Amino acid sequence: MATKEGTCACGKDKLIKAKVTKVEKGVAYVQAKGWEKPLPFHTQGKYMCACGESCDCGTISQTPGKCACGKEMKPVK
């Protein structure tokens, strides 16, 4: 999940725009155009953008890879 456009940490070419439809403890349900139903996403990632405190991309991921801004993700401590 990210607040900016970019590529996914999984290697997909582009993130898609989605709307949060419901939030429960630790899970946000998001709906995107063409999806049959909202999908659950953990709101606490195992990895985060390595930009530092000035980061405004807000990217989190359950897998390592590159952030939407292009920087490598780092493990959340």
Confidence (pLDDT) at 75: 93
Would the pLDDT of 6 be above 80?
A: no
Confidence (pLDDT) at 31: 94
Q: What is the pLDDT of residues 17-70, one digit of tens each?
A: 889 999 999 899 999 998 999 999 888 889 988 887 777 777 888 888 888 778
CB 68 within 8 A of CB 6: yes
What whole-number distance in Å separates Cα of residue 21 and Cα of residue 48? 23
What whole-number distance in Å separates Cα of residue 27 and Cα of residue 29? 7
- Domains of the chain, by residue range, sit at 19-75
Q: Model confidence at 11, in pLDDT bands (50, 70, 90)?
A: low
